Chains A and B, each alone.
Chain A
Amino acid sequence: MIRVGLAGTGSMGLTHAQAYATIPGVVVAAVLDIDRDRAVQLAATVGAHPYSDLDAMLEAEKLDVVDCCLPTAQHRITVERAAQYGCHVICEKPLTLTVADGQAMIAATRAAGTQLLVGQVVRFFPEFQRIASALREGRIGTPVSLTMLRQGSSPGGSRSWYLDETQSGGIFLDMMIHDFDWALHHLGPAERVYARLVQRFEPRAFTQGMATIRHTSGALSQITGTWGHPGPFTTMVELAGDGGLLQHNSSESTPIILYAETAPREPGDVPLPDLSVTNPYRVELAHFVDVLAGRAESLVRPEEALAALSLALSARASAATNQAQVVEVVAA
C-alpha cells in the first residue's frame, strides 16, 4: 500500500484526495495544511492524520510519497524536504517559479533516488490524448500549426494566491503552463516566443495571456489563457498539419447535458473543467501510482516540466518587455 502525505487542501488537494479514494493500492495517510482546521477537516474525511508542519509529518509518518498541492512558491522547499526523507514527490504544476529552483528540485530528487512526478494533467485529458494518438498515427501528416485556448473564471477563492505573481507566477506559469507543456511535448522544443498580457482588475478581474511560439521544427503555436472569462470553463485545441486538421472544443463536446432547477454552483478557488464523465486527475494519479509501484514509466519527465517552466518564464519576460525572447535550452 502506497502511503501518501497530501500537502495542501485547496482546490487541487481536495481534487487529489477524492481521486485517491478511488485508486487501488494507495492511501492518504496524512494531510498537511498550515491552516490546522482545514487539515483536520480533510484528514477526518479521508481517515488520515492531520499536520500543520511539513517536517513533523515527514518525521512521524512513514510516507512513500508527498503530493505537493501547495502554492507554487512552496514547491521547492516541499520537494527538497520530501527527498531528504527519501519520499517520492507528486508535485502540482507549475514545477516552481524559477529555472534555478526547478534544477535544484530535480537534483534533490535525483540525489535521493526518488521520483519527481509533475502534475501536467492535460497530458491525461482524454481529448488531448486522442489528438496525440491521431498525430502519432500520422492522421494529419507533419504538424504545422497548433492553437490552444484555455479560459475560465478568475481564480478568486477566499484564499486566492493565484493573482499574486510572486506566489503563482501569474497566468503564464499557472494556467498556460498546461498548454506550453503539451505544445513542447508534441511539437518539440521552442526556439522563440512572443507574448502579450492584458490585465485589469476594475470593474472586474480579467487577465489574458497570449503567446506565439516558433518551435525548432518550424512548427508554430499560438496559446491563449484567460482568467475572467464570463462563460463556462472552455478549452480549445486545433492541430493543423500538411495532411489534415484536428479540432477539439470543450463547448462542442458535451456528452451529458443537464438542465435542472438548482442553485447556481458557488465558484471554487480555481476554475476547473467538467470532470463528471472522465476525471483526468484520477487518470493522472493512477498513472503516478503505477509509476511508483514500478509498473510504468512516467509520461511526464521532470525535464519536460522544467522546459515548460522555462518557456512560460520566457513568455512572461516577453510580455514584460514587448520583445520576442529566445527560449534557452535548460539543463536539468
Chain B
Amino acid sequence: MTAPIRCAILSSAHVHTAAYADALRQVPNAALAAIWDDNADRGRAFADHYNVPFLADLRAPAAWDEFDAVVITSENSRHAALCLEACRAGKHVLCEKPLATTNEDAAAMVAAADTAGVVLATAFPMRHSLPAIAVKRTISDGGIGEVLAVRSTNHGKMPPGWFRDPALAGGGAVMDHTVHVVDLLRWYLEDEPVEVYAEISNGFHHIAVDDAAFLTITFRSGVVVTLDPSWSRPASFPMWGDLTLEIAGTKGTVGLDAFGQKVVRYPAENAPSEWLGYGADADLALITDFVAAVRERRAPAATGRDGARALAVALAAYASAKSGQPEVIVP
C-alpha cells in the first residue's frame, strides 16, 4: 500500500468544492489533507465539516509541507495566483474551470506547471460522463461518419454571489458555460476551434455580467457549432441546467443529453417538480483521474493546455460580442 496522495483544497468559493471534497474522501489512495480559504469563516466551517485542518496562511513556511497536490476552487480570477504558488512549491494542481480569466494568466499557469514538472489538470468532469464517453466512442467508431455540424446547450440557473462579479468571475454565462462544450468537442473532434461569433445580453437577471448568449464556433475542419451557454433556466426549473449536443455527420446524427439519466419527482406540496439524476458521478471520476495522473506522472484527461484552449474561446466570444463580427480565437 503506497502512501495516499494528500490534497489540499484552496478556497471553497466555488459551488463545486464540496463535490470534489466528497470525492477526495472516496478515492482510494487519496486524502483530503487541509483546506485554505481567504474567507476564514467560510474556510473554517468547511474544514470543520470535513474534519481537516484549516490553513489560515498559505505563506507560512510549513503550510505546504502537509500535502502533495491542490484543488483550486477559488473565484475564477484568483486561480492563477494560487496555481503559480502551488507550482513554485512543487505541488500538483487540479484547477476548476475556467482555467483563468485571461489568456496571459492561463499561459503563465501552463508554463509554471511545465517548469515545476507538476501535473496541471483542468476540471472538465464532462470528459468522465458516461453518456459523453459513449458519444465519443460512437464518433471514433465512425458511427455518424465525418462530423459536419453541432448544436449545443449548456444552460444553467443564475449562480450565486461572486459569479455575478465581473472582477472575480471574469464574465458571466459565456465565461462559465462555454468551456465545457468546447472542451468536449475538442476531445470528440480532435480539432481546434478557430473562430467564434457571439451575441450576448444580460436580459434575464439584469446583472453586471452577461446571462444570455448565442455562440457560433467554427473549427479548423469547418465543423460549425452553435452553443447556448445562458443562465436562462428559471429558479423553478427541475434541474440546475443541462448539457446537450446534437452532432450531425455524413452518415447520421447522434444526440447527447449528458444529464438525461433522471427520474422525475412531483412533490405533494405546491412546489416545482425535480429531476433526480442517477448517472454515474463524473466528479468522482475526475478526481480519480487526477490522483492517478499524479501517482503515475502522466497527463490527466484534461490538462492545463486544454483549459487554456477552452478559455480562449470564451474570451474571443466576448471580443466578438464587442466588435459585432466573428473573431479569430487566440492563442
What residues of chain A have their CB less than 8 Å away from a CB belonging to chain B?
142, 144-145, 147, 149, 192, 194, 196, 198, 200, 202-204, 206, 208, 210, 212-214, 218-222, 224, 226, 228-231, 240-242, 244-245, 322-324
Q: Is the CB of B324 within 8 A of A240?
A: no
Among A142, A147, A206, A218, the residue within 8 A (CB) of B148 is A206
Q: Is the CB of A142 within 8 A of B197?
A: no
Q: Is the CB of A324 within 8 A of B248?
A: no
Given the interface pairs A198-B149, A245-B233, the reply to whether A145 lies near B214 with Cβ below 8 Å is yes
Least CB distance, B145 to chain A, in whole angstroms: 7
Q: Does B273 contact A (CB under 8 A)?
A: no
Given the interface pairs A194-B197, A219-B203, the reply to whether A240 lies near B214 with Cβ below 8 Å is no
What residues of chain B have their CB less than 8 Å away from a CB belonging to chain A?
145, 148-149, 151, 197, 199, 201, 203-206, 212-214, 216, 218, 222-224, 226, 228, 230, 232-234, 237, 248, 250-253, 324-326
Given the interface pairs A219-B203, A242-B204, A324-B326, the reply to whether A206 lies near B232 with Cβ below 8 Å is no
Q: Is the CB of A200 within 8 A of B148?
A: yes
Q: Is the CB of B250 within 8 A of A204?
A: yes
Given the interface pairs A196-B216, A198-B148, the reply to whether A144 lies near B232 with Cβ below 8 Å is yes
- 10 additional contacts, CB 8 Å, given A144-B212, A324-B326? A200-B148, A200-B250, A208-B148, A212-B197, A212-B226, A222-B214, A240-B204, A241-B204, A242-B203, A245-B237
For A213, list chain B residues within 8 Å (CB).
199
25 A-B residue pairings within 8 Å (CB atoms): A144-B204, A145-B203, A147-B228, A194-B197, A196-B216, A198-B148, A204-B250, A208-B149, A210-B149, A210-B151, A210-B224, A212-B197, A212-B199, A212-B214, A213-B199, A219-B201, A219-B203, A222-B226, A222-B228, A224-B226, A245-B234, A245-B237, A323-B325, A324-B325, A324-B326
For A229, list chain B residues within 8 Å (CB).
248, 253
Among A203, A222, A231, A322, the residue within 8 A (CB) of B145 is A203
For B205, list chain A residues within 8 Å (CB).
242
Kindly report which residue of chain A lies nearest to residue B236, judged by CB atoms. A244
- Complex formed: what's the CA distance from A222 to B251 in Å? 25
- Complex formed: what's the CA distance from A229 to B204 in Å? 32
Least CB distance, B143 to chain A, in whole angstroms: 12
Q: Is the CB of A194 within 8 A of B228?
A: no
- Complex formed: what's the CA distance from A142 to B203 in Å? 8
Least CB distance, A230 to chain B, in whole angstroms: 5
For A244, list chain B residues within 8 Å (CB).
234
Q: DSSP class of A's interface residues: helix, strand, loop or mixed?
A: strand
- Complex formed: what's the CA distance from A229 to B247 in Å? 11
Given the interface pairs A149-B151, A192-B324, A200-B148, the reply to whether A245 lies near B216 with Cβ below 8 Å is no
- Complex formed: what's the CA distance from A230 to B252 in Å? 6
Among B151, B216, B232, B326, the residue within 8 A (CB) of A323 is B326
For A230, list chain B residues within 8 Å (CB).
252-253
- Complex formed: what's the CA distance from A214 to B250 in Å? 31
Q: Is the CB of A206 within 8 A of B197?
A: no
Q: Is the CB of B148 within 8 A of A210?
A: no
- Complex formed: what's the CA distance from A214 to B321 in Å? 11
Kindly report which residue of chain A lies nearest to residue B249, judged by CB atoms. A206
For A324, list chain B residues within 8 Å (CB).
197, 324-326
Kindly report which residue of chain A lies nearest to residue B222, judged by CB atoms. A198
For B226, list chain A residues within 8 Å (CB).
210, 212, 222, 224
Q: Is the CB of A220 within 8 A of B250?
A: no
- Complex formed: what's the CA distance from A221 to B203 in Å? 13
Kindly report which residue of chain B lies nearest to residue A222, judged by CB atoms. B214
- Complex formed: what's the CA distance from A214 to B320 in Å? 13
For B252, list chain A residues within 8 Å (CB).
230
Least CB distance, B324 to chain A, in whole angstroms: 6
- Complex formed: what's the CA distance from A16 to B170 in Å? 55
- Complex formed: what's the CA distance from A214 to B214 in Å? 10
Least CB distance, A248 to chain B, in whole angstroms: 15
Q: Is the CB of B325 within 8 A of A208?
A: no
Least CB distance, A322 to chain B, in whole angstroms: 6
- Complex formed: what's the CA distance from A145 to B251 in Å? 32
Least CB distance, B260 to chain A, in whole angstroms: 12
Among B204, B224, B250, the residue within 8 A (CB) of A196 is B224
For B218, list chain A residues within 8 Å (CB).
196
Least CB distance, B239 to chain A, in whole angstroms: 13
Among B151, B250, B324, the residue within 8 A (CB) of A224 is B151
Kindly report which residue of chain B lies nearest to residue A208, judged by CB atoms. B149
Kindly report which residue of chain B lies nearest to residue A192, judged by CB atoms. B324
Which of B149, B237, B251, B252 is the most central at the interface, judged by chain A CB atoms within 10 Å of its CB? B149
Kindly report which residue of chain A lies nearest to residue B202, judged by CB atoms. A144
Q: Is the CB of B251 within 8 A of A203?
A: yes
Least CB distance, A207 to chain B, in whole angstroms: 10
Q: Is the CB of A226 within 8 A of B248?
A: yes
- Complex formed: what's the CA distance from A294 to B91 in Å? 80
- Complex formed: what's the CA distance from A303 to B264 in Å? 46
Least CB distance, B42 to chain A, in whole angstroms: 30
Kindly report which residue of chain A lies nearest to residue B206, judged by CB atoms. A242
- Complex formed: what's the CA distance from A210 to B148 in Å? 12
For B233, list chain A residues within 8 Å (CB).
245
- Complex formed: what's the CA distance from A23 to B222 in Å? 49
Kindly report which residue of chain A lies nearest to residue B227, judged by CB atoms. A222
Which of B197, B214, B222 is the most central at the interface, judged by chain A CB atoms within 10 Å of its CB? B214
